[in-house]
Amino acid sequence: MQTFPIQKIIEHGPGVKSFYFPKTFDVRAGQFVNLWLPGVDEKPFSVSAVMGDWIEISVKRYGPFTTALMECREGDYLGLRGPFGRGFTLQNNALLIGGGIGIAPLRLLAQELNVRGLRFVSLLGAATAYEIIFARDFQKQSVCYFTTDDGSMGKKGLVTDDLVDIIAKEKIEYIYAAGPEIMFVKTKELIDPLGLPYEFCMERYMKCGIGICGQCVLDDSGLRLCVEGPVLNRDDLKEVTELGLLHRDASGRRV
């Protein structure tokens, strides 16, 4: 384990922050790192951007770990190991569908697509305006559609509401999605009939992050989300029977 001081913190709004750490490895969009808060816990987070010598991690407060992380200050030492897993492939004419903090890995994906000169469109939704992190950066790089639950930004409603229309209008050929599991279920329902290929950046409870504990393995495929994922494509997902259903907690029980 290596520990690094937090270089900088940005607050997007209550309970949503980005943290900057020295960059000591190359990382691809969709890959994740494990953050260790000494005395608290260690949890997985996507890298949301790479900027020169820094990497950025963007976090939303949920439970004990993310709450403790919100209390951290610049200069505090955190353990950081990775990068883990397999990231996104880079495709042209793609739609980036992000829900809530799922926007984080899509931010790095947008950077990578942009550098390669690949066209993409962004469809980002969250509970409220400030949770659509770095909206302005997305707008600089792509056509954007926003939705919020409270109508504070873009259209009021869910990110999947106008999905099919946007795909047709923007001549979309490839789908990337990151966000809550229910969003994948809906997205899949809507795009499977269209025959579009896709990649989803998924989450499961993780312990080791290195493919040995078995905690993050998906039924029925036996794929380890921390190694063969967290980005899974249409073929991988064909064998995953637990999408949107029960999955395992720290003990390994299905909850």
Partner 1 sequence: MKTIHLIKPDFLNLKMDSPLVLASGILGLTASSMARVIRFGAGAVTSKSFNLEWRKGHRNPSIIPFEHGLLNAVGLSNPGVDEMVKEIRLFRQKSEAPIFASIFGRTIEEFAEVAKRAAEARPHLIEVNVSCPNVRSEFGTPFGDSPQDTAQITRLVKKAAGDIPVSVKLGPHGPGIGLMARVCEENGADAITAINTAGPGMLIDIRVRKPVLSNKTGGISGPAILPIAVKSVYEVYENVRIPIIATGGVTHWQDAVQMLLAGATLIGVGTAVYYEGMEVFGKINKGIEGYMRENGFSALKELRGLAHE
Ligand X SMILES: Cc1cc2nc3c(=O)[nH]c(=O)nc-3n(C[C@H](O)[C@H](O)[C@H](O)COP(=O)(O)O)c2cc1C
Distances (CA, A) of 17 to 54, 77, 91: 16, 17, 29
Site for ligand X in 207-236 (CB under 6 A): 212-213
From the CB of 171, what's the least distance to partner 1, in Å? 38
Q: Interface with partner 1 by CB under 8 A: which range of 8-16, 103-111, 157-165, 213-221?
A: 213-221
| Angle, CA 250 vertex, CA 245 and CA 251 arms, to 5° | 95
Residue number with CB closer to ligand FAD (153 or 216): 216
Q: Interface with partner 1 by CB under 8 A: which range of 53-61, 92-100, 176-184, 220-228?
A: 220-228
Give the integer Cα–Cα distance in Å for 137 and 110.
9
C-beta separation of 75 from 22 below 8 A: no
Q: Binding marks (x or -) toward ligand FES, 220..239, rule CB under 6 A?
A: ----x-x-------------
Q: Is residue 3 part of the contact set for partner 1 (CB under 8 A)?
A: yes
Residue number with CB closer to ligand X (212 or 250): 212
Q: Is residue 71 part of the contact set for partner 1 (CB under 8 A)?
A: no
Q: Is residue 210 part of the contact set for partner 1 (CB under 8 A)?
A: yes
Query: Which residues lie closer than 8 Å to 121 by C-beta, 6 or more apart?
Result: 94, 95, 96, 142, 143, 144, 145, 166, 170, 172
From the CB of 170, what's the least distance to ligand FES, in Å? 35
Q: Is residue 215 part of the contact set for ligand FES (CB under 6 A)?
A: yes
Q: Is residue 7 part of the contact set for partner 1 (CB under 8 A)?
A: no
Which chain residues interact with partner 1 by CB under 8 A?
1, 3, 34, 36, 38-43, 77, 79, 207-208, 210-215, 217-224, 248-254
Which chain residues interact with ligand X by CB under 6 A?
212-213
